[in-house]
Amino acid sequence: MFTGKSLIKMSDYYFLMSEEDKKCYEVVSKKTLHRWQIVECGRKFRLYHRNESGNAYNFIGVYESILDCVSEVTDRDKRKIKGLRRILREKITGNSRSELGTCSTAF
């Protein structure tokens, strides 16, 4: 079994463990500021998510291991960052990807 500190030694995340309840972990993304809670429930782990401005955590799912939870966290974070890059690119260029595609096929 992984310990909390050995599990996440990723530079893009903070890892916190509740001092009162050793079965609750929190992961915070440095890039998106989204927060995830991992709660140990017997032999399963429940994953919750909230964004930087949200007050309540939303239930994501139940996983077999804490490693599965961390994998879900990193996958969701990558998708969020990719979406933010797309939005930024559209703001800079003034075109959406679909508009750029129609321009390139015209030539």
More confident call, 48 vs 71? 48
What does the alpha-carbon distance between residue 85 and residue 75 come to, in Å, rounded to a whole number? 16
Q: Give the pLDDT confidence score for residue 96 in this predicted structure.
A: 61
Q: Answer yes or no: is pLDDT of 78 > 90.
A: no
What does the alpha-carbon distance between residue 64 and residue 17 come to, in Å, rounded to a whole number? 19
Q: Give the pLDDT confidence score for residue 82 in this predicted structure.
A: 85
Question: Model confidence over 16-64: pLDDT tens digits?
Answer: 766 667 788 888 888 888 888 999 999 999 999 997 777 789 999 999 9
Q: Give the pLDDT confidence score for residue 80 in this predicted structure.
A: 85
CB 63 within 8 A of CB 48: no
